Amino acid sequence: MSEFLNILTKMTETRKARQLWTSAHKDWVIDTAYVFDREWPIEIAVAHPDYNYGNWIIIDFAENEEEARLKHRLWEDNLFGELKPLFLYDISEDREYERKK
C-alpha cells in the first residue's frame, strides 16, 4: 500500500463509527459515511494525491443506504479506470478541484 493510502487509512479511522463503505484502488480512496453536519444524511467522499493535495472531496450525497451503495459503486466504476477526470467538484464547498498531474 502506498504511503498516501497509509495516511488516509489513519484519517479514515476517525470516521469508523459512521462509516458505511470504503474502497481503495491505486491512489484512489472512496469513503461513504453518515454525516451529521449537512442537510443530507450520507455523503460520498474521495481522496487522491492529484486533487486538493490529497484531502477529502465530497463528491455526492444520498438520502438512504440503498441509494448510497448504488452511488458508491458508480463512483468506483468512474474513478477506478485508467482515465482520471480533469476536475472533481466538491458539493460541500461548491468548488472544483483541478487534477495536478
Number of domains in the chain: 1
| Domain around 18 | 3-98
Give me the phi and psi of 89, to 5 degrees please. Answer: -105, 125
Q: What is the pLDDT along the chain (101 residues), one digit of tens a residue?
A: 577 777 666 665 555 557 889 999 999 999 999 998 888 899 999 999 999 999 999 999 999 999 999 999 999 999 999 899 999 999 999 999 999 97
- State the CB neighbour count (10 A cutoff) for residue 20: 16
